[in-house]
Structure 1
């Protein structure tokens, strides 16, 4: 893509400094202002969209209860506009959600009101809900599932339920756009670009692409920026949030964390950092954790580029400065992700408490009573899901009743509200036939049926998209539109890598072992990808890596999952040797995704610390090394 003019001093001759201000809809507006005022930056980007936002907003927007954009995105613009104008900082955010044009017009009105010479634009083309509805009703065929090409995967039960277009109507359908529309907007002079569902890293890619005047075939540069965007897009994660090693530092350092900054050079390498004199930390351990978050293996896909991260290097190059390099780029895949949400049915949960003695038998009796009552009412086979989950273990010889108390979570989903009301009625009928010491959590509102949304991750051919950007005039009308076009070439997706380590060592040769928690010697990060959980685990000394590679096999991960493992799950494994990391994708635990998941940890974030809590045999030499590292760190607090 060409360039419409060079308005910024130093553009292209130095790294572009991109500060992210949001990774979720709840991130407050003042985070944008902080990034604009706490130090020098060129761009502010923001990712306000999780997979759930669009669907929830669509339902409210349809009945006039929502504007379609994320309110905290508007808060950020309103609080920061004076600084943006003064410092000429450009903004690219996906906070426009379902209505990027609406948020752009609202922003343009504020720009005009204050008399600023700033151009506002919005990206269009991601919202395909009417197209998807029409195609499904016409053909009865769903778009290809995101995991459909993996022959080892069995789609979860009810995964294709939305073919029932009357009983399971579609609520939203948005494709993940790349950076092409953003770059077009910047070429046309836009200062503030409002997007809908662009991919999380696309605002960062667009900013660096335009700044360095790359072509759309500068794949190494685009791939490097893709990973930089992946690292900074998630709120404060790259600065210390969600960090497995947080307990090795002063906890005060993690209160009121800053958000990340990427300094992207012309060759696509980058330095991850934060503003000076702020809390948090940017070091190799935390950046490695964040890199391993929400991966699907060593190949990272985006609408503009495919990034091969197998040989990624992460190096400390200064205080709170970490360099990324050694990322290879290739043409993007011919398809992009299509996130479809639909009405899955109704769900409810009831929380039953038990204290101390004979807890297992208490919960077994309760289940027998409820299942008997449901059978009497003819409801046993009416549920999509009826799951009884025991949470917690009573402490031995407890010092308080709280230590002795656990709860049973009865989680249910069904096509109709009446089935769930039948469950509640069954409980009320048998409630006074309860086990010894029976009591309930106070809030019973969750026992009432509520509608829930289910997720279908599909694929959409990129050449069928009509992506573009619209530049607004002072009065909020569209002054100019430009089509983004399509990538010049594609690369067919290859099966994801799945292998054990090439040269495992005999663990017995590493000396005597001792039983410790895995987390005593390993850091990790986990997250969600539709139905799947990913987890990356790494050691901090190169001499420890052969043990980790040999110990963490697919069979060992299955064993570590314990009773959570199910026969229809599938595990993929790969390695990141420069990061001393082993990575897994476990297909299936999250069902139909976050919005309808039966698990408490629907985002998969707690999975890593569950695995790290397992007691395993570790060579004593590794345990000694890690104890010394942690003691040294604590001594410097």
Structure 2
């Protein structure tokens, strides 16, 4: 095993949060300063399914091209500086990418060893039981007792399943590193696993060091999304010069032996690392107060985020417990066909125009009989015309017509319905551009499932002198599992009544608070906390944002079949909530325009609320 200096923190730099992050980011992280590891997360839940389908057809190598390009650009400096790399860019074919990297190393006579991790791809197991719905793994949300209803199990067949990948932990990565690997290529490990694996190996932790593993899990969560911790997707950007956010640098986590970490970035790069950028990323895509992973559970109730100086933020207070016996599986299957059309209406009588359009379309579909074969037909009105508009564009709104069907023919009938009212439309009707987006297209639907960790066969494969000379090391399983406990959900305890805060003034929530939101499959999460200048508002904010109030602020977006879960993080002054079911089937199966929930926090912050005047006194003018 390679010996390391466990007395200092390990410096782990992230170079990717998605396949489209530029390949040169790996080279930047390697050359702009000294780091011990470079990690990259190239896999969103959708692109691994698209890769699987293309890979099966022989039209895609199965791994992400940007991962390969990043390694190719960086390989010489990686060898020179002895910087290790752990990435999940292998997607559906980690062996293929590992072999390609091995060829490059051999060609350049570099002293580097390559390994890849297997065990996440369980498609064959899923396809082996296509006829029995009872053998399809339960939905990810089925273990949550307080949900109103369990999520439906899709009708899967051996032909309809496209991909099934388990979110594995860091055990295979650690085995690869302990056996001399310099570059570790993974498939669908969890987003934070490369960072956990790097810290686990560096500090030589035991697999029962749950507090430390949980701390590394949070460190990985904080840097896994490229620039999201350094100014990307930052709701507070309007309070700074806009130039600061044009090209933010990518983050680095300095992870200590106890699992706490400092989030930073290379000096001279754009963006910023502040308590606020780190708090917002911490709140991104959380399940609640417990962050689940295959190697540990991280409890966030006492998480602390503190400034250590310019572009340095210290994160601590994480505690861990043994992992749950199950892990998440991202399954994709052929869901049928979708079609979308954008239609415009201008100015006067807009509400009546959209009402007339929907009545016309539904009437024609009913007469033709096509309506009963369209599983979803949604008329989504986007925007409101400006009063006394200064231009036609500011008077225009659009209708997003979104439709799904099991077969293509009913959606073709929907196209025909629009043709038949071509000159019977409301006044001023016009298309955004043309009707090309209205062509029915097959889509992949997402089904997140639970899968027993004990059934996974994770291993690290080390390449020797040639790609055919390999050594397989079994990753094993966690030494202990702990059942999932009931999820916490509560309003503020011992909170004063809102009337006790005195007179109020109407303000947009975003004037005094920041936030971040995102998706967790079918569900949407959101965290809200006061801006630094308004820390005194925390007692009011936690009392104000009750479950009842959050539902009221959701307005027309709330449906009775949803469930709201709410917790608090006292030390970072944040209220966090999850709306279960609001994203439908999630990802490609969501009908919402904001299908990944990224825009929800700023919608929520745009709400006008009554803020206590007394708590605003002495603050800067709004």
Bucket of the pairwise TM-score, normalised by the shorter protein: over 0.9
Distance 1:626 1:419, change over 3 A: farther
For residue 153 of structure 1, report the CA deviation from its aligned partner: 2.5
Distance 1:516 1:178, change over 3 A: same
Contact 2:284/2:516 (CA < 8 Å) preserved in 1? yes
Q: Secondary structure at the match of 1:262?
A: strand
- Once superposed, what is the RMSD of the aligned Cα atoms? 1.3
Contact 1:308/1:329 (CA < 8 Å) preserved in 2? yes
Match of 1:171 in 2: 162
- Alignment partner of 1:220 is 2:204: no
- Alignment partner of 1:153 is 2:147: yes
For residue 624 of structure 1, report the CA deviation from its aligned partner: 4.5
Contact 2:142/2:150 (CA < 8 Å) preserved in 1? no
Contact 1:520/1:626 (CA < 8 Å) preserved in 2? no
Distance 1:272 1:444, change over 3 A: same
- Alignment partner of 1:485 is 2:479: no
For residue 133 of structure 1, report the CA deviation from its aligned partner: 1.5
Match of 1:591 in 2: 584
Contact 2:139/2:153 (CA < 8 Å) preserved in 1? no
For residues 144-178 of structure 1, give each alpha carbon's deviation from its aligned partner in whole angstroms, at most 9, with x where no partner exists: 11100223325588x42233x16x70000000010
Q: How many residues matched?
A: 620
Distance 1:220 1:418, change over 3 A: same
Match of 1:237 in 2: 228
For residue 136 of structure 1, report the CA deviation from its aligned partner: 3.5
For residue 310 of structure 1, report the CA deviation from its aligned partner: 0.3
Q: Secondary structure at the match of 1:432?
A: coil
Q: Distance in 2 between matches of 1:466 and 1:113?
A: 33
Match of 1:5 in 2: 2
1:584-623 alignment, distance < 5 Å? 584-623=577-616
Match of 2:16 among 13, 17, 22: 22
Match of 1:446 in 2: 437
Q: Secondary structure at the match of 1:236?
A: helix
Match of 2:104 in 1: 110
Match of 2:304 in 1: 313
Match of 2:464 in 1: 473
Contact 1:15/1:263 (CA < 8 Å) preserved in 2? yes
1:376-415 alignment, distance < 5 Å? 376-415=367-406
For residue 495 of structure 1, report the CA deviation from its aligned partner: 1.2
Match of 1:142 among 131, 136, 157: 136
For residue 505 of structure 1, report the CA deviation from its aligned partner: 1.2
Contact 1:95/1:194 (CA < 8 Å) preserved in 2? yes
Question: Scaled by the length of structure 1, what TM-score is found?
Answer: 0.96
Contact 1:162/1:342 (CA < 8 Å) preserved in 2? no
Contact 1:156/1:591 (CA < 8 Å) preserved in 2? no
Q: Distance in 2 between matches of 1:149 and 1:221?
A: 26
1:122-521 alignment, distance < 5 Å? 122-138=116-132, 140-154=134-148, 159-163=152-156, 165=157, 169-521=160-512
Q: Secondary structure at the match of 2:578?
A: strand
Where structure 2 has 5 or more consecutive residues not aligned to the other structure, the ranges are none
Distance 1:432 1:156, change over 3 A: farther
Contact 1:162/1:170 (CA < 8 Å) preserved in 2? no
Contact 2:337/2:408 (CA < 8 Å) preserved in 1? yes
Match of 1:551 in 2: 544
Contact 1:520/1:623 (CA < 8 Å) preserved in 2? no
- Alignment partner of 1:40 is 2:34: yes
For residues 36-59 of structure 1, give each alpha carbon's deviation from its aligned partner in whole angstroms, at most 9, with x where no partner exists: 000110000000000001110111
1:75-114 alignment, distance < 5 Å? 75-114=69-108
Q: Secondary structure at the match of 2:155?
A: helix
For residue 558 of structure 1, report the CA deviation from its aligned partner: 0.8
1:574-585 alignment, distance < 5 Å? 574-585=567-578
For residue 625 of structure 1, report the CA deviation from its aligned partner: 5.2
Contact 1:108/1:474 (CA < 8 Å) preserved in 2? no
For residues 397-417 of structure 1, give each alpha carbon's deviation from its aligned partner in whole angstroms, at most 9, with x where no partner exists: 000000000001110000000
Q: Distance in 2 between matches of 1:110 and 1:443?
A: 47
